[in-house]
Amino acid sequence: MRFPRDPTALKIAAVYALLGVLGVSVTDAVLARFVPDQSTVIRLQVLKGGIFVAVSAVVIYVLAGRGSESPRTSKADLERSNQQARILRRVLRHNVRNATNVIHGRTEMIVDEATDPRAREHAEAALEAAEDLLSLTEESRLLRKVLSDEERPMRPITVDELVRERVADLRGDYPDATITTDLTAGVDVIADEYLGVAVENLVQATLEYAQGRSPDVRVTTERAGDAVCLRIFGDDTVVPDTERTALSDAPETPLSHAEGIGLRVAKEVVSQSGGDLAVCDGVEDAVVRIDLPVA
């Protein structure tokens, strides 16, 4: 008999039942036909039963052994595929980053040296696209790292100090914006090491989606029982649906899966820190709310 290559429990049971029915019926018929003495028939049936049990045990052992090989093979195949994917990601990330840096540098030269206003306009658009691609590459790398299975240490973080540091960086990047804070001092949370990146991404998104040219953003923190509530208020900020999807559990779509990478990073970091993140839908002009457990 040819054994199945990848037997399941149902297949093993079916083979056992088939062998049992055929073995009992055929051997009983043979004994009834050729052995006239009833006592001899009984002894032979006992012997036959022992042989059948031994043979079926061997068959089940072989089938179960074949079945156990499949998970080991699948695990090896999966590990090999993961290794190939990691190599491909590294190669692509390296090549894309290097190529984009070249494009960025050469385009900057064109912007600086162009005398034709239309040529300068095209070069500036290309330069902006190169900067967006560099940012996307870095955000994708960070998201992959955040989503990896590697355990990262949680540590005490003083929330007001972290917010002040990140807001100071953003003030330099958005000189036309007004970013103010109202922070409760000296409250620590046990959080992911990338919590600062998450807060910066959320404040930056609030600035980016403000309707006015000189956005007004306010960041506040307050302690509420065993949690710290961080709110980000925006001046007429409207969060696009694609970005809201990044902060929800809704499935990705082909048109939105590349959007909101920075917000996906923020969502995962807050979640892994034991907190909650939500878009507030304009409640009291708040754009985003984060709740984190106090250390």
What single-letter amino acid sits at 151?
E
**Torsion over CA: 153, 155, 160, 164 (sign):** negative
pLDDT in tens, 48-97: 666 766 766 676 666 666 555 555 556 677 677 766 666 666 666 667 77
Which domains does the chain possess? 1-150 (no CATH), 154-293 (3.30.565.10)
pTM (global) more than 0.85: no
Choose the most confident range, by mean pLDDT, from 43-52, 79-88, 151-160, 273-282. 151-160
Q: Cα separations (Å) of 72 from 11, 80, 81, 82, 85?
A: 19, 12, 14, 15, 20
Residue written as tokens 């696009």?
A: 240
